[in-house]
């Protein structure tokens, strides 16, 4: 396994120097942020990230994310063009030495929470989700915005997008995913890249939009669409673990060889479709972190790992979920878990 850390580029208050000082850190997880989703990334921008990372003794082998344009997910008239752009990005990243690309196939919204600063008794705060709160907001009428919403859409664009998805439903989304994979995976194979789809977070449909990367049955179906090591998974414990129907230890064991990227974080389930993010160790939440890592190691996992969302502790303010302190503690904990279980 290789321990990595997400870096949001030059504007990220968590600098490369700080990242490089975390024990056992091998590289960063980053992306080109100067282009809109669907566009081809310039080789200069890709190389610039690599150079900056290397200047701090860090590798740049993982990209999160190359976003999938909504037209691709919708199978719209411009899907073909955007898929070609996507393939070009895969080629360019491969040439720059990238080995793994994380992406998702969630309609309209990426990860979604109802609260950004859920207060804990010890004075820290974290992201939290409560289905009742989410359901009480209708994105078509509400003026509110939830974390995970793409703020680049106007209200009207958002509305027409949501209506288009309502027409296509789950099966058509699978079909569109299949068209995408059949075009992109052969290019990834050639480029020496493992594609790693991120599960839907939370792993169930919201606002009547279809979500399909959610559970064991669907992950099996996904992996069969193109049965290649290059068609892999991001195993995000906090995303899949939000559904109590998902047995993460079993899933880790079954999918280990196809997991290219591992996002480790713990959540505490506080009710039906209600959870908050907590510190990484097993005892802090509802997920068996040690059991998950053991299942992965016993079944041939060999991929990249990063600590996922941290709480805001020690008075830190920053990008929600992506402060330095708690993610660094998470990295140290995860390194210890692997060390203990591998030896």
Residues at the interface with ligand DNO (CB under 6 A): 64-65, 102-104, 110-111, 198, 263, 309, 321
Q: In a 3-state reduction of DSSP, which class is residue 264? A: strand
Q: Decide if 309 is catalytic.
A: yes
Q: How far is the CB of 201 from ligand DNO (least distance, A)?
A: 7
| 147/299 with CB nearer ligand DNO | 147
Q: How far is the CB of 170 from ligand DNO (least distance, A)?
A: 19
| 198/294 with CB nearer ligand DNO | 198
| 263/311 with CB nearer ligand DNO | 263
| 294/306 with CB nearer ligand DNO | 306
Nearest 10 degrees: Cα torsion 118, 120, 125, 130: -20
Q: Decide if 320 is catalytic.
A: no
Active-site residue, selected from the candidate residues 198, 201, 280, 326: 198
Q: Decide if 263 is catalytic.
A: yes
Ranges of beta strands (E only) in 215-315 are 231-236, 259-264, 266-271, 274-278, 304-307
Spatial contact of 80 and 87, defined as CB atoms under 8 Å apart: no
Scanning 56-115, the segments in alpha helix (DSSP H) are 70-74, 79-95
Active-site residue, selected from the candidate residues 263, 320, 326, 333: 263
Active-site residue, selected from the candidate residues 236, 288, 326, 333: 236
Scanning 256-288, the segments in alpha helix (DSSP H) are none
Distance between CA 8 and CA 123 in Å, rounded?
26
Q: How far is the CB of 105 from ligand DNO (least distance, A)?
A: 9
Q: Decide if 198 is catalytic.
A: yes
Q: How far is the CB of 104 from ligand DNO (least distance, A)?
A: 4
The residue whose Cβ lies closest to ligand DNO is 65
Active-site residue, selected from the candidate residues 129, 165, 320, 322: 322
84: number of Cβ within 10 Å: 12
Q: How far is the CB of 263 from ligand DNO (least distance, A)?
A: 6
Between the alpha carbon of residue 236 and those of residues 81, 119, 120, 187, 317, the distances in Å are 30, 24, 23, 25, 24
Q: Decide if 284 is catalytic.
A: no
Cα 36–Cα 37–Cα 43 angle in degrees, nearest 5: 75
274: number of Cβ within 10 Å: 17
| 103/222 with CB nearer ligand DNO | 103
Active-site residue, selected from the candidate residues 69, 309, 320, 333: 309
Q: Which residues are catalytic?
A: 198, 236, 263, 308-309, 322
């Amino acid at each position: 396994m290789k321990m990595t850390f997400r870096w949001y580029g030059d504007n990220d208050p968590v600098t490369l120097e700080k990242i490089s000082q975390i024990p056992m850190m091998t590289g960063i997880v980053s992306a080109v942020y100067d282009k809109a989703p669907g566009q081809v990334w310039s080789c200069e921008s890709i190389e610039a990230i690599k150079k900056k990372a290397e200047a701090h003794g860090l590798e740049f082998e993982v990209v999160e994310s190359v976003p999938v344009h909504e037209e691709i997910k919708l199978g719209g008239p411009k899907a073909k063009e955007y898929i070609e752009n996507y393939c070009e990005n895969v080629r360019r990243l491969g040439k720059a030495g990238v080995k793994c690309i994380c992406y998702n196939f969630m309609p309209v919204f990426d990860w979604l929470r109802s609260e950004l600063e859920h207060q804990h008794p010890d004075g820290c705060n974290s992201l939290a989700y409560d289905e009742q709160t989410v359901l009480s907001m209708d994105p078509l009428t509400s003026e509110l915005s939830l974390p995970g919403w793409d703020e680049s859409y106007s209200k009207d664009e958002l509305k027409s997008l949501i209506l288009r998805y309502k027409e296509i439903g789950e099966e058509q989304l699978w079909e569109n995913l299949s068209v995408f994979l059949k075009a992109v995976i052969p290019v990834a194979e050639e480029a020496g890249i493992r594609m790693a789809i991120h599960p839907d977070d939370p792993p169930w449909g919201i606002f009547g939009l279809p979500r399909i990367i959610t559970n064991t049955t669907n992950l099996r179906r996904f992996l069969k669409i193109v049965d290649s090591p290059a068609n892999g998974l991001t195993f995000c414990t906090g995303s899949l673990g939000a559904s109590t129907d998902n047995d993460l230890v079993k899933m880790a064991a079954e999918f280990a060889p196809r997991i290219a990227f591992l996002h480790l974080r713990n959540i505490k389930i506080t009710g039906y479709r209600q959870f908050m993010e907590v510190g990484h160790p097993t005892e802090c939440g509802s997920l068996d972190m040690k059991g998950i890592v053991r299942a992965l190691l016993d079944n041939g996992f060999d991929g990249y790992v990063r600590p996922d969302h941290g709480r805001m502790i020690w008075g830190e303010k920053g990008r929600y979920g992506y402060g330095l302190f708690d993610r660094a503690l998470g990295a140290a904990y995860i390194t210890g878990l692997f060390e203990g279980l591998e030896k």
